[in-house]
Structure 1
């Protein structure tokens, strides 16, 4: 199902793309974070509509030069965002309108080189997660750092949270985070507990397949979907994590990012290194339905095969498969943005969101 797709060539690879929040949930502004440039950047964009709705042109409002590759970006609100780098640093950026009508991006706080290896070489800050003013970062160095946006110092460091690269992290409660590493181990850390040991751990699958991304259900944070380097999606109920709820054979290559629709959490979006962008639906009129993450409706055997869940999901391709990785997606109502390695950004407009 190919939607209303608007592609724009921008001459750089995009690793993260995020809608700027709007009080009326109708944002026309977004940021991109580049990678693999001699000089990377955070750019703030807006859309200009032509006379025909088919003509939509993004244009740059402001450019902020950035050291290293952008590895993650999240808005706190419409004026502030947090961005992490491949050099192990985390930035707290502010977007302001000047008296002359211009827009400025300034650095409010910098936690410099908080991820580094034992020889002091910089380590990628691979991921971070936000809960109100708290930010918890994960790195290639296996370290977890706890930050607060009101404090310039690192509040806590779990030096050896893992012996290999941590690829993804998400809050499951205000006091607990879930991490995924390059060997497929998932670990839950209680931030109230001293020491480096997790309170719980389990394997993503039977093999040592790296976890690449995590997303929690908007209404049920104990329900988490993990993407892996083989392209599969695994659904977990963290209240009973001996086995996954669902194991979905999905993309043909590594899953880059997963997002639930914030207003319609029975619908999910995923993208991959194989250049695929998919829309997962469980409540489409006329379909067999089924709850995406309702454990009580699942069979007694938690390891459900792909065949047994075919009638519970409908998956739609939002645009033709690209020949380069789609690294990042973001949602706003019925619009999806994606950033890619083919040096283009795409807006998919008027996506069919079934309610």
Structure 2
């Protein structure tokens, strides 16, 4: 597995990494990625570019949305030939306190809509082709919102610093449609991602390094809790086209590839593989019809297998961000390195 990894050292701590999307009809692997940093100026690279923002998402192949610690959200146009960015529009001070600007903590895109969240507890909705902010939920949270994801076109899910998930219907009022929470200690949640095919299935990670799987249709507590990392989990991502695979990265310097199968036998992609560990799952009760259950929601270990593999050659400094597209995985670290794996088995 280590023979497939290419490390690039870039003299800046990497806070975010994202592959540029490829067209749905294209069979080619992604070739261009963006990296963001908080401790260096703009830098150009042969195969990627870096810039002085620590939060961003691709809106589409040609546009990139960034969010900054000054509370501004900006859309850039990407010129592939020169690998340069030009500003299309900026929403200044989208996140703010009464007398000062507030850091934006996350941004998510579902073209043409985009949503940002911040330390000010606001949820802000924009449209890429409109210069005015579409809507602001002023008091969405009394604590810091750490991450956001679209569940459906008009529904977003946020996670906060007191262990809560809040589901927002952007067509409705200023109250969350649903609140889910970790039981016991209010462990801050840092990241969230939805299952690409079954939007009711959500994965989160937080300060305690636990991977939580939630079914937002059933109850208000996580369906399962799994021991993942020994420190804060910074990002979690389902594979976009094969969601039986999931990836997590952490302050502890590790990047894990999680693989699940609904079959009782070891699936073909696990045969002959050296797995670093088998996770222990503590499954919460869930009712309802389970006939069309995802492998991630299979509480019976005889029906669902879950294994994890370490994806980096050794423990590094904090792995702050990861992205996966096709067989290509990228992550960025505090060790001023970008790791690229082009043959992920999914």
TM-score, length-normalised on structure 1? 0.83
Q: 1:31 to 1:309 in 2, by over 3 A?
A: farther
Unmatched 5+ stretches in structure 1: 47-59
Moved more, 88-97 or 106-115: 88-97
Q: 1:63 to 1:219 in 2, by over 3 A?
A: closer
Q: Secondary structure at the match of 2:171?
A: coil
* Matching residue within 15, 27, 30 for 2:30: 27
Q: Secondary structure at the match of 1:206?
A: coil
Partners of 1:180 and 1:261 in 2: how far apart? 20
1:77 partnered with 2:60? yes
Partners of 2:15 and 2:46 in 1: how far apart? 15
Q: Deviations over 1:137-164 (max 9, x none)?
A: 1101111111110111111111111111
* Matching residue within 89, 103, 117 for 1:138: 117
Aligned length: 321
Q: Secondary structure at the match of 1:202?
A: strand
* Matching residue within 259, 265, 283 for 1:281: 259
Partners of 1:80 and 1:179 in 2: how far apart? 24
Unmatched 5+ stretches in structure 2: 262-266, 272-280
Aligned counterpart, 1:6: 6
Aligned-residue offset at 1:352: 1.9
1:95 partnered with 2:78? yes
Partners of 1:45 and 1:190 in 2: how far apart? 42
Aligned-residue offset at 1:35: 1.2
Aligned counterpart, 2:274: none
Partners of 2:199 and 2:82 in 1: how far apart? 39
Contact 1:33 1:43 in 2 (8 A): no
* Aligned residues: CA RMSD: 2.8
Aligned counterpart, 1:50: none
Q: 1:45 to 1:255 in 2, by over 3 A?
A: farther
Q: How does 1:46-57 map to 2 (within 5 A)?
A: 46=47
Q: 1:208 to 1:234 in 2, by over 3 A?
A: same
Moved more, 222-231 or 122-131: 122-131
Partners of 1:110 and 1:166 in 2: how far apart? 21
Moved more, 171-180 or 272-281: 171-180
Aligned counterpart, 2:185: 207
Aligned counterpart, 1:168: 147
Q: Deviations over 1:236-259 (max 9, x none)?
A: 111113332211111111111111
Partners of 2:218 and 2:307 in 1: how far apart? 26
Structure 1 stretches of 4+ with a deviation exceeding 4 A read 42-45, 292-295, 307-311
Aligned counterpart, 2:102: 123
Aligned-residue offset at 1:205: 3.5
Moved more, 164-173 or 307-316: 307-316
Aligned-residue offset at 1:189: 1.5
Contact 1:2 1:320 in 2 (8 A): yes
Q: 1:339 to 1:63 in 2, by over 3 A?
A: closer
Contact 2:58 2:109 in 1 (8 A): no
Contact 2:203 2:214 in 1 (8 A): yes
Q: Deviations over 1:97-129 (max 9, x none)?
A: 5xxx53431010111111112232x22211122
Aligned counterpart, 1:334: 327
Moved more, 322-331 or 208-217: 322-331
Q: Secondary structure at the match of 2:290?
A: helix
TM-score, length-normalised on structure 2? 0.85
Moved more, 251-260 or 308-317: 308-317
